[in-house]
């Protein structure tokens, strides 16, 4: 017997009209009123639950963190109408990469992050993975882009902009002055003490260099596939990494994707607390900053599904099906929204993981809720409701 809440979500789905496979109208996959992306890994084709089919039935456009070395996986995703986007991390432990230069923070301390201009680090973590992915797109047309997570620069070591010897010397050479005889810990104070102060100029040079670094990469990529897209999370449009990457990679043929994290409403440590009135995702402020860059872009609010064990007892953060529906609708239907993304999707395609994080909920309810809210917003979803229910029943039976 299907639960009452599942029946209600199903009824909401049936009441919403329209059904077609994506990309049949000849448009680019992102050229739609609303886009829905999933974030994370859903395993291979040998998994008990067919994650790719679940994504298709829910109306999901793309999987960030998708793309496989196995041709059969990529081809199956294509059959299901799922676009795959590679994922890289602009962070890591520098000592794991030979000759990698560590970043230095404003106090002159060596960071756990690498200098973003360290050639071995850039080559190993960004350039090579991106080029490998775009070359795969020639064989698999549903491999469509590469996104970068730069969280460590902004969060973990509180590094912000790098002040390592190499970055410092390039700035001194840029402004054309004699190199000051000061300790690394005094570099920021020296910049602030100049007349006029040079801290903003230092930041501008970092952005200029980083923009050029990404622009060269994008030129390589778009010579292979002009419609290959780049994207970024977490979002901070006034941050040096975001500005440099966005300006360097966005083109008229390939928009830059911004995956927002400030819209999280799942737990105290992940974004905002759940609110039932007056909550704004901040789309308009973000668009204002992005418009200032004069680039082609897409903005998607983000839903982070998981909660920590210590938060399970707090009913405000219970990840029930209606909270998911409510959050997806608020993010996706907003007039300034290009859609929304949700993750980690692996928790919704692995039964054991699902039961760990969402006790008391039926896995089928989540997928029907996603299908229902997307269809309610006019996002195409395939197949009739009877066949969908028959497929979903096999998950937990």
Domain residue limits, the chain: 4-159+208-396
User: Residues in the chain with pLDDT < 70?
Assistant: 1-25, 92, 154-159, 265-278, 307-320, 357-361, 396-397
Nearest residue to 356 via CA among 366, 348, 368 = 348
Output the pLDDT for position 10.
36
Q: Are 63 and 55 in contact (CB under 8 A)?
A: yes
Question: Is beta strand 229-233 parallel, antiparallel or unpaired with respect to 256-259?
Answer: parallel
CB atoms near residue 31 (< 10 Å):
12
Q: How far is CA 356 from CA 318, 375, 394, in A?
A: 13, 29, 20
Pick from 339, 363, 383, 322: nearest CA to 14:
383
Superfamily of domain 4-159+208-396: Glycosidases (3.20.20.80)
- Please list, in sequence order, all residues whose beta carbon lies within 8 angstroms of the beta carbon of residue 123, skipping any fewer than 6 positions away: none
Spatial CA neighbour of 218 closest among 257, 250, 253: 250
Query: What pLDDT score was predicted for residue 351?
Result: 75
- In order of 35, 36, 165, the CA distances from 23 in angstroms are 12, 14, 50
What local confidence, expressed as pLDDT, does residue 163 receive?
Answer: 95
Q: Name residues whose C-beta falls within 8 Å of residue 124's C-beta, 6 or more positions apart in sequence.
A: 97, 100
Give pLDDT, residue 264: 80
Distance CA 279, CA 273 (A): 10
The half-sphere exposure of 358 on its side-chain side, counting CA atoms within 13 A, is 26
Non-local CB neighbours of 34 within 8 Å, separated by 6+ positions = 332, 333, 337, 338, 339, 374, 377, 378, 379
User: CA dist 292 to 139, 149, 209, 335, Å?
Assistant: 36, 22, 19, 20
CA 396 to chain centroid, in Å, comes to 30
Put residue 63 in one of left, alpha, beta given phi > 0 → left and psi -120 to 50 → alpha. Answer: beta
Please report the pLDDT score of residue 137 as a whole number.
97
Q: Name the phi and psi angles at 227, rounded to 5.
A: -100, 15
Closest Cα to residue 111, out of 148, 161, 181? Answer: 161
115-68-56 Cα angle (round to 5): 115
Q: Would residue 101 be called left, alpha or beta, if left means φ above 0 and alpha means ψ between -120 and 50 degrees? A: beta
**Would you give the end-to-end CA distance of the chain in angstroms?**
10
**213 three-class SS:** helix
Supply the pLDDT for residue 390.
84
Q: Which of 47, 225, 22 minimizes the C-alpha distance to 140?
A: 225
Structure tokens at 394: 């096999």
Q: What is the pLDDT of residue 88?
A: 92
Q: What is the pLDDT of residue 310?
A: 52
pLDDT of residue 397: 56
**Contact by Cβ (8 Å): 230, 146:** yes
Question: In this predicted structure, what is the pLDDT of residue 155?
Answer: 58
């Amino acid at each position: 017997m299907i639960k009452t809440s599942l029946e209600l979500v199903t009824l909401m789905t049936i009441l919403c009209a329209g059904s077609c496979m994506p990309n049949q109208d000849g448009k680019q996959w992102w050229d739609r009123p609303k886009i829905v992306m999933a974030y994370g890994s859903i395993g291979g084709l040998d998994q008990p639950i067919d994650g790719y089919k679940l994504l298709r039935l829910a109306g999901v456009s793309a999987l960030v963190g998708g793309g496989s070395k196995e041709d059969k996986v990529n081809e199956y995703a294509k059959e299901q109408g799922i676009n795959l986007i590679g994922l890289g991390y602009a962070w890591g432990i520098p000592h794991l990469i030979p000759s990698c230069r560590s970043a230095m923070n404003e106090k002159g301390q060596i960071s756990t992050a690498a200098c973003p201009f360290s050639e071995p680090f850039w080559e190993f973590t960004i350039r090579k993975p991106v080029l490998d992915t775009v070359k795969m797109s020639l064989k698999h047309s549903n491999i469509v882009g590469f996104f970068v997570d730069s969280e460590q620069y902004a969060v973990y070591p509180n590094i912000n902009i790098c002040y390592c010897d190499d970055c410092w010397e390039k700035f001194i050479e840029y402004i054309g002055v004699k190199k000051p005889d000061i300790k690394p810990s005094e570099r920021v104070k020296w910049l602030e003490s100049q007349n006029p102060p040079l801290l903003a100029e230092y930041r501008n040079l970092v952005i200029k260099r980083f923009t050029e670094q990404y622009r060269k990469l994008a030129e390589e990529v778009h010579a292979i596939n002009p419609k290959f897209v780049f994207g970024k999370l977490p979002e901070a449009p006034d941050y040096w990494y975001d500005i440099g990457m966005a300006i360097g990679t966005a083109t008229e043929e390939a928009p830059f994707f911004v995956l927002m994290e400030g819209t999280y409403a799942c737990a105290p440590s992940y974004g905002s607390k759940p609110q039932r009135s007056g909550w704004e995702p901040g789309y308009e402020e973000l668009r204002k900053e992005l418009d200032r860059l004069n680039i082609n872009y897409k903005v998607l609010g983000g839903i982070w599904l998981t909660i920590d064990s210590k938060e399970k007892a707090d009913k405000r953060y219970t990840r029930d099906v209606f909270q998911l529906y409510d959050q997806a609708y608020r993010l996706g239907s907003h007039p300034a929204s290009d859609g929304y993304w949700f993750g980690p999707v692996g928790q919704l395609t692995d039964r054991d993981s699902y039961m760990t994080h969402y006790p008391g909920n039926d896995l089928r309810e989540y997928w029907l809720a996603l299908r229902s809210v997307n269809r309610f917003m006019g996002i195409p979803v395939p197949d009739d409701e009877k066949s969908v229910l028959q497929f979903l029943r096999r998950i937990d039976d």
